[in-house]
Chain A
Amino acid sequence: MKKFALVAVSALATVAVSTAHAQEVRVYNWSDYIDESLLEKFTEETGIKITYDLFDSNEVLEAKLLAGGSGYDVVVPSASFLARQIQAGVFQQLDQSQLPNNVHLWDTIKKATASSDPGNAYSVNYMWGTTGIGVNVDMVAERLGDDYGSSWDLVFDVDKISKLADCGVHILDAPTEVIPAAMNYLGLDPTSQEPDDIAAGGELLESIRPYVTKFHSSEYIDALANGEICLALGWSGDVFIALYEADDADNGVTIEYVVPDEGALMWFDQMAVPSDAENVAEAHAFINFMMDPQNIADATNYVYYANGNLTSQPLLEEDVIGDPAIYPPEETQESLYVLAPYPPRIQRVVTRTWTRVVTGS
C-alpha cells in the first residue's frame, strides 16, 4: 500500500514538472467570439498549449481581475471597463517588440481606443461592434406592419413593444450599455454620469419591463435563430450569428440587424495581459497571432464582428466587409457614441437602477 502511494506521488511530481516546462497560455474571452479551429492552428504553429475559457459579461471578468490571481494570461474586456482597470493596476504594458504584427492595425480604431487606453500601451483591439436590435423580420412585420422601421421605437415605445411581448423579447443583461441606450432615446446624453439622467433611463426601461421575456447576454443568439423570440436588444455580431444559424437551419426564420437611427453604442473589446499573468511571452504570442491579417479575417468571417486590422479587410468575405451593419459607413459612424468608464459611486447608481429594472424592486 505504502509503495503504491509512493509511486503515485512520484507520478504526480513528474506531471507537475512536465507541465511547468510545456509552454501554455490561458485565454479568457467572450462566448461565441472566435472560430475555434484558430486555437488549434495557434498550437500547431507555436507549440503553445492553449486553455480557452468563456464569459458573457464585463462585470464577471472585472470581478475576477480585481480579486487577483485570475490565472489568465490574456483577457478581453471592453474599452470602457479596461480604462478603469488600467488605473487600478490590473494590467501590464505590452511589449511592442513582441508584437511585430502591429503594423497591420487600423489607425481609425487605434485612435478611438486611445481614449480608454492612452497610446494603446496596454491593449490591442480584438473586435468592435455596435449594440443595436435583432429583429425576426416576419414575426415583427406581422405585428407592426412591413415598415416597422429602424428606430429605437421598436424597443422603447410601449405601443410597439407591447405588441411584440407575445412573440418574445430579450434584452442584454448589461446595465452599462442598456441604460445609456434608454437615455439616448430620451434625447439625453448617453454618456452622462448624472444620477438624474441615469434614473430617467431606468424609468423608461421599467415602463417596458412587462413586455421583456428575459434579460440575458448570450441566450438570445439561439433564441432568435430558432424563432423562440422575435426581438433582441443585442450585440451586432451575435445577431449576425443568429442570422446565419437560421439560414443554415433553413427553418423559415429571417433575422435582421438594425443599427437604430437615433444612434447606438460603439464598443471595442481589447486584448490585454493581467499584471499577474504567468505566461507573459506566450500571451504576447497569442495576441500577435490574432493580429495576423489572415487569422483575424478568419475570425471576423466566422463571428461577423468588425476587427481593428486594416490589412485583413481585403481578406474578408464580401457580405461581411460590404455590410453596413458590420462595417458602418462614415455617416452612420457619426451617430454612434462611445462610453467612458463610470466611477464606483456612479457604478453603484447604475447597478441599483438596473436591479430596479429587472426585478421591479
Chain B
Amino acid sequence: MMSAVRGLTRRLPILIPFFWLLVFFLTPFFIVLQISFAEFQYGQPPYVPNFRKVEGVGDFFNQLQMMTLYSYEILLSDNLYWKAFLSSLRIAAVATFFALLIGYPLAYAMSRAPRSWQPILLMAVILPFWTSYLIRIYAWKAILQKNGFLNNVLMELSVITEPLTLLSTPFAVYLGIIYTYLPFMVLPVYSSLEKIDPSYNEAARDLGASGLTAFWRVTVPLSLPGVIAGCFLVFIPAMGEWVIPDLLGGSGTLMIGKQLATELFNNNDWPVAAAVAVCMIMVLIVPIVIFQRAQESDQRRRQEEG
C-alpha cells in the first residue's frame, strides 16, 4: 500500500506534463482530426457532425462509414497546397537562419555582460512582449509604408531620392517574422550560454587554443541545446504564420497558414481547413519529434561513453 502511494508520488512530476499534453495538445488535435474526416455542409456548424456517443458495435461501424476522405482528396488534387507548404517552409527556414544570426551574438553578449547588468538586459529582450504583438506589427506598417518613418529618415539623410517600396514585399514578411520571434531565439540560447562554466574556456586557452578556436570548439557545442530549442521555437510558429504575411506581405505571399485561413473564411470549409492543419502537423511535427528523440539518445550515449 505504502509503496503504491510512493510510486504515485514519484511519478506525479512525470504525469503532470503528460496531463498537460493530453488536455492541450491531443484533445484539440483529435477534434481537428475528426472534423477533417467530416463532410462539408453550408450551415451551422459548417460540417456534418460525425461523432456521436457510440451505441453498440454496429453503430460504431456506421459512424466510421460516415467519415470521408474528401477533404484530403481536395488537398491532393490541387498543387496549390504543396506550393504554399513549400513556400512556408522556405520563409520559415530563412527567418530562422537570420534569427539565429542576429540572436546568437546578442545572447552571447548578454551572457558576457557583468552579472549585475544581466537582469536588465534580459528585461530588455522581454520588454516588447508587454505590447500586443498585433500592435507591434501595425507599427511596422507605419514604419515601412511609402511616406512612413523609415523612408522619411532615409530621404532626410539623402540616402535615397525616391521613397522605397518596402511594405507588401517578401522583405517586410521576413522582417516581421524575424522581429517577432527573435526573443524566442535569444532566451534559450542565452540560458544555455550562461550555464557554461567559464573555466572550460580558460582551460581551452591554457591548452593553446586561440580565442576563436575556443569559442568554436567549446562554447558553440555546449550551447547547441539552446540553439536547437531556439530554432524550433522560431521555425514552428513561423511556419504556420498568418497575421504577419496578411498585414505586411503583398497579396502574392503564399503561405500555408494563409491558405488555411482562406479555407475557413472564404469557403467556410472546416473539413478542408482541418485537413490542412492535420497535414501540417504530420509533415512538420512528426519529423521534429523523431529528430529530437535521435538527439536525446545521442546525448545519452555520449554521456554513457564519457
Contact = CB atoms under 8 A, between A and B. Distances in A.
B51 to A, nearest CB: 17
B46 interface: yes
A66 B262 CA distance: 15
B199 interface: no
B250 A214 contact: yes
Contacts of B146: 228
Interface string B261-286: 01011111100000000000000000
A354 B46 CA distance: 21
Nearest to B43: A88
A249 to B, nearest CB: 13
Interface in A308-361: 343-344, 347-348, 351-352, 354-355, 358-361
A67 interface: yes
A59 interface: yes
A90 B265 CA distance: 16
A214 B168 CA distance: 8
Interface string B127-151: 0000000000000000000110000
Interface string B31-74: 00000000011111110000000000000000000000000000
A71 interface: no
A180 B11 CA distance: 64
A88 B253 CA distance: 33
B78 A67 contact: no
A66 B83 contact: no
Given A63-B268, A214-B251, A226-B147, A355 B262 contact: yes
A351 B266 contact: yes
Interface of A: 57, 59-60, 62-63, 65-68, 84, 87-90, 173, 175, 212-216, 226, 228, 343-344, 347-348, 351-352, 354-355, 358-361
B250 A348 contact: no
A59 B266 contact: yes
27 contacts: A57-B265, A59-B265, A62-B265, A66-B42, A66-B44, A66-B268, A67-B44, A68-B44, A87-B42, A88-B43, A173-B251, A212-B251, A214-B250, A226-B147, A228-B147, A343-B42, A344-B41, A347-B267, A347-B268, A351-B262, A351-B266, A352-B80, A355-B262, A358-B252, A359-B252, A359-B253, A359-B254
A214 B146 CA distance: 14
Contacts of A228: 146-147
A90 B44 CA distance: 7
Interface residues of B, number: 26
Nearest to A356: B80
A66 B46 contact: yes
Contacts of B268: 62-63, 66, 344, 347
B269 A348 contact: yes
Given A59-B265, A228-B147, A348-B267, A88 B251 contact: no
Contacts of B253: 359
B260 to A, nearest CB: 12
A361 B83 contact: yes
Given A90-B44, A214-B251, 9 more contacts: A65-B44, A66-B43, A66-B44, A66-B45, A66-B46, A213-B168, A226-B147, A344-B42, A347-B266
Nearest to A227: B147
A67 B43 contact: no
B45 A89 contact: no
A361 B44 contact: no
B80 A215 contact: no
Contacts of A212: 251
A350 to B, nearest CB: 8
B269 to A, nearest CB: 7
B78 A352 contact: yes
